[in-house]
Structure 1
């Protein structure tokens, strides 16, 4: 089940973040994640499995809402590789399609990911635009991925 983020989800999501450090995230990113939840929690979605939080993922609008960034995709290690990440990404892409009238100026969707996860986004039609070495931390490079908003169905 996917649902909107609630404040009482925070501790479980931070615990999941820690379980994904250092493979997917650098420890110094935790404060950024916490700040995102505080400021943009209304655009964060939680996925549950067997009544427990398995992970989450959000959206962050940029540049006068012309760009939306897929933000803070995170899954408990025990839930990875089971299709939940795909389900969560599809949910957000569908959410954007359903709310198109509220986001008429939206032109593209970005994902700021790393070499660990960029292939996942390629499966959904995101193209690689830029790589920045050690952006997130040692050995965690930024892979900037983009997708045209008009190509949500692919």
Structure 2
């Protein structure tokens, strides 16, 4: 199957933002591409490696259903030929809102920079040319410190976004076009490319 290459063409026009200062040093060289049906087993294994410390064992069935239905984007990270992380980005209609969904790193690869790289890759897919984009994550107490270091914060004193699942809190941050350009440039500088499935390409072509 062929992929379209996602990269950046310009250098940052101003000093790195606090977001980039948190992201850039931890980027991990890897290959990032969109999820394909044959990745299901690897993604399920990643989920299981995070249960029950970070994910509920009861949620696995819903996760498998989510993968079967598909979403706006669901990415996998490959390292040394293995899928070590995966996560999605859902764009909410024509609004300036996006949600990071089902982001996880295999338990054997925690604290190596893959979580940060996965976050950066999903943010790099955003377009914020007109107005800043609100990015939401529905997360657990165990992963709140991870998102906090990048500037995600509670929406209100209750820590709950309307509709958030019981036992989970929603956090958010605002990113603008300069943030996105900086992230794309940082990924490119590290040699990290994102390959998106291109339905307009002939599936018989070889990947460049």
Give the TM-score of the pair, scaled to structure 1: 0.81
Task: Confirm whether residue 117 of structure 1 aligns to residue 143 of structure 2.
Answer: yes
The 1:36/1:59 distance shift into structure 2, 3 A limit, reads same
1:67-146 equivalence runs, <5 A: 67-97=97-127, 100=128, 107-129=133-155, 130-131=159-160, 135=165, 141-146=167-172
Supply the distance in 1 between the matched residues of 2:113 and 2:120 (Cα, whole angstroms). Answer: 11
Q: Identify the range of structure 1 (55-64 vs 82-91) with the bigger mean alpha-carbon deviation.
A: 55-64
Q: Distance in 1 between matches of 2:100 and 2:178?
A: 13
Q: Going by fraction, where is helix more abundant, 1 or 2? A: 1
Tell me the matched-pair count.
144
Root mean square deviation, CA, Å: 2.4
Cα deviation, residue 64, structure 1: 4.8
Residues 1:16 and 2:42 are matched in the alignment: no
- Whether 2:89 is the aligned partner of 1:59: answer yes
Runs of 5+ consecutive residues of structure 1 not aligned to the other structure: none
Instruction: Measure the CA separation in 2 of the matches of 1:152 and 1:88.
Output: 19
Contact between 1:109 and 1:146, CA under 8 Å: does it hold in 2?
Answer: yes
Secondary structure of the corresponding residue to residue 66 of structure 2: helix
Q: How does 1:20-39 map to 2 (within 5 A)?
A: 20-39=50-69
Answer yes or no: is the 8 Å Cα contact 1:40–1:60 preserved in 2: no
* Runs of 4+ off more than 6 Å: none
TM-score, length-normalised on structure 2?
Answer: 0.62
